[in-house]
Amino acid sequence: MADVFVSYARPDEPQAKRVADALRDQGFSVWRDDELPAHRAYADVIQERLNASRAVVVLWSQEAAKSQWVRAEADAARRAGTIVQATLNGTIPPMPFNQVQCADLTGWHGEEKASGWRKLIASVAELTGAAGNAEQPSQPRKRSVCVLPFVNMSGDAEQEYFSDGISEDITTDLSRVSSLSVIARNTAFTFKGRAADVCEIASKLSVSHVLEGSVRKAGGRVRITAQLIDGLTGDHLWAERFDRELTDIFAIQDEISHSIVDALKLKLLPEEKEAIEKRGTSSPEAYDLYLMARQYWASGNDGARRDQIIMRLCRSAIEVDPDYARAWALMALTQAWMRFRDEQVEDAGMEAAERALELDPALPEPYCVKAGHFARQGQFEQANKEIATALALDPESWEANREAGIITIRQRRLKEALRLLEKAASLMETDYRSPSLMMSCGLGLDDESVARRAAQMTVERAERALEHDPANAAALSYGAGGLAYLGQTERAAEWIRRAALIDPDNIVMKYNLSCSAVGIDEFEMALEFLGPFMAKANSYQVQLAENDPDLDKLRSDVRFKELLAAAKKRLELRRPS
């Protein structure tokens, strides 16, 4: 007798044959009614085969839902606990079968890696107790998980920072478990706001499990729901709802992480348990302020207003908890960027960076600040040492990879810079600066494919940023460079004009706009932006202009040479004797 019975409506016979043949290819013994013997009654054979089968695959369609034979076979399998359901065209199984999981084979033509097929075959294998042949899909030896961005259910878009922060921290916690492979935050966040099938996501990312959830924050309370889902079957392995005071936020995160470890039957080493429970602060208020500041930092809108907001939030967090190292580190990063933009800013973040390292020497961000400081002084050997330390501490740090790429590109080590910037861009979906710099590397290396790919990424990310904030001048300025390379001259010129009007006093932006203007061969416009930039540029910025491939078309222009020489002379006169 066959282990697997295939039930279907007559109009669906081609699809039923495809399913049966694919099951046989996987090593299963399969029966469908094309094998009816000529000497026996139809109903007797059907009943016999149904009773003997360990798994009954019911293929639903509109015709199958109307068929009394299919419904009777499905009901017998449901009562026996052997039913495995699949929809051939999106048809929802009729009652009461709609209460049972159903694989989706819509548009399926035999692809072994299709999520619906993997879901079906996993259920068949479990029911039959057979492994099929050696090629049958199976759970990976090492458990793997994707933490999807938790949905903000607060009814207030301003609370998005909190749900994103929770998702990111749970991802970080789980990544500390050596026996668990965790998909990077940036990859998971590409699914944000998209209605996607969990099994499809698991198949696409080649993970065994998916964690999804939601966050509702109101007043002093927070409600978090979380579900751990089997990526092959779509079944829930664990689900919980936490309705607590906001002061319990750290305990909730710990419970979620430990529950996932338990559900996956993983062993948590003592040092891993300690790392998961280490939050850096015991104050939910300081944590909330930090998450808010972090969201502004990740937005990429690097104008003075953004930096002032981050500074206020970090200072508030530190007032609540003076020993919060992550808040000190983010303050240091912001101060360093403010110094890069405006030489009149005295604090380059070094003091805050040292304080952060005093509290937590394992943080990579403060080393980025120190690396940037040494690079601005032209001390690249020391800068390279600091950034190497940051990358060793956390190879997955967006800040470390981005700063390493920037420092390396300033040394004209373009191939190495490209690798680092590609990594940075892969770690933060809102980062349009890294792909913009990748485009510069492609230009410098005379690699059109790299430059074009980076330009497309820059424009796509800038467009997404502008959807959220049409006044994001930074997105306009970087995006204009991508548009210029892609030959969209008119649109690039429009973005340049808009950025200049929105943030006319941003010196760094003037530099970016000059690079974009060069990209559309508007050399007069480029020099107009470079004039005020060079008049205020610090030594690091002048060094940038000397080495940036984006400005190569201007290097033979006498006016560019004069601007560069005047800036160097100004800096030389200011240098103490």
253, 279, 305 - which closes a domain? 279
| Structural domains of the chain, count | 3
Question: Are residues 165 and 77 part of one domain?
Answer: no
Strands, sheet with 55-60, edge to edge from the N-terminal-most edge strand: 30-31, 4-7, 55-60, 83-87, 102-104
Residue 575: φ, ψ to 5°: -70, 130
Lowest mean pLDDT among 130-134, 142-146, 473-477: 130-134
Question: Are residues 214 and 181 part of one domain?
Answer: yes
How many other C-beta atoms can be found within 10 angstroms of the C-beta atom of residue 470? Answer: 11
Contact 309, 296 (CB under 8 A): yes
Q: Is the pLDDT of residue 52 over 80?
A: no
Note whether residue 344 is domain-resident: no
Q: Is the pLDDT of residue 35 over 80?
A: no
Calculate the CA 323 to chain-centre distance.
30
What is the pLDDT at residue 573? Answer: 62
Q: How many CA atoms lie within 13 A of 190 on its CB side?
A: 14
Question: Are residues 498 and 570 part of one domain?
Answer: yes
- Over residues 347-372, the mean pLDDT reads 92
pTM of the model: 0.64
Note whether residue 350 is domain-resident: no
What is the pLDDT at residue 98? Answer: 73
How many other C-beta atoms can be found within 10 angstroms of the C-beta atom of residue 18? Answer: 15
Question: Are residues 167 and 84 part of one domain?
Answer: no
| Chain segment 266-298, per-residue pLDDT in tens | 877 777 777 777 778 889 899 989 999 988 888
Domain that holds residue 48: 4-128
Q: Is the pLDDT of residue 41 over 70?
A: no
Note whether residue 565 is domain-resident: yes
What distance in Å separates the CA atoms of residue 528 and residue 504, rounded to the nearest whole number? 13
What is the pLDDT at residue 135? Answer: 40
Note whether residue 40 is domain-resident: yes
Per the model's pLDDT, the better-predicted residue between 522 and 109 turns out to be 522
CATH of the domain at 10: 3.40.50.10140
Q: Is the pLDDT of residue 138 over 60?
A: no
- Over residues 152-173, the mean pLDDT reads 84
Question: Are residues 98 and 58 part of one domain?
Answer: yes
Reference 123, options 260, 20, 235; nearest CA is 235
CATH of the domain at 483: 1.25.40.10
What is the pLDDT at residue 483? Answer: 94
CATH of the domain at 237: 3.40.50.10070
Question: Are residues 75 and 14 part of one domain?
Answer: yes
What is the DSSP track for 522-552?
-HHHHHHHHHHHHHH--HHHHHHHHH-GGGG
Question: Are residues 275 and 156 part of one domain?
Answer: yes
Question: Are residues 180 and 249 part of one domain?
Answer: yes
Residue 259: φ, ψ to 5°: -65, -40
Question: Beta 236-245 vs 221-230: how paired, if at all?
Answer: antiparallel
Question: Are residues 181 and 264 part of one domain?
Answer: yes
Confidence band of 576 (pLDDT split at 50, 70, 90): very low
| Chain segment 54-96, per-residue pLDDT in tens | 889 999 988 888 888 888 888 888 877 888 999 898 888 887 7
Note whether residue 240 is domain-resident: yes
Residue reference for tokens 């995006």: 479
The residues near 60 (Cβ < 8 Å, ≥ 6 apart) are 70, 85, 86, 87, 88, 91, 92, 93, 97, 102
3-state secondary structure of 221: strand
How many other C-beta atoms can be found within 10 angstroms of the C-beta atom of residue 44? Answer: 9
Question: Are residues 50 and 95 part of one domain?
Answer: yes
242, 261, 279 - which closes a domain? 279
User: Any idea what DSSP says for residue 155?
Assistant: S
Q: Is the pLDDT of residue 171 over 70?
A: yes
What is the pLDDT at residue 132? Answer: 46
Contact 309, 338 (CB under 8 A): no
What distance in Å separates the CA atoms of residue 358 and residue 352, rounded to the nearest whole number? 10
Q: How many CA atoms lie within 13 A of 194 on its CB side?
A: 11
Question: Are residues 462 and 549 part of one domain?
Answer: yes
Mean confidence (pLDDT) of the chain: 84
Note whether residue 43 is domain-resident: yes
Note whether residue 308 is domain-resident: no
Note whether residue 481 is domain-resident: yes
- Over residues 299-321, the mean pLDDT reads 86
Confidence band of 527 (pLDDT split at 50, 70, 90): very high
3-state secondary structure of 242: strand
237, 257, 279 - which closes a domain? 279
CB burial readout 220-242, b (16+ within 10 A) else e: eebbbbbbbbbbbbbeebbeeeb
Question: Are residues 206 and 152 part of one domain?
Answer: yes
The residues near 537 (Cβ < 8 Å, ≥ 6 apart) are 343, 507, 511, 545, 567
Burial of residue 380, with CB atoms counted within 10 A of its CB: 0-12 exposed, 13-18 middle, 19 or more buried: middle
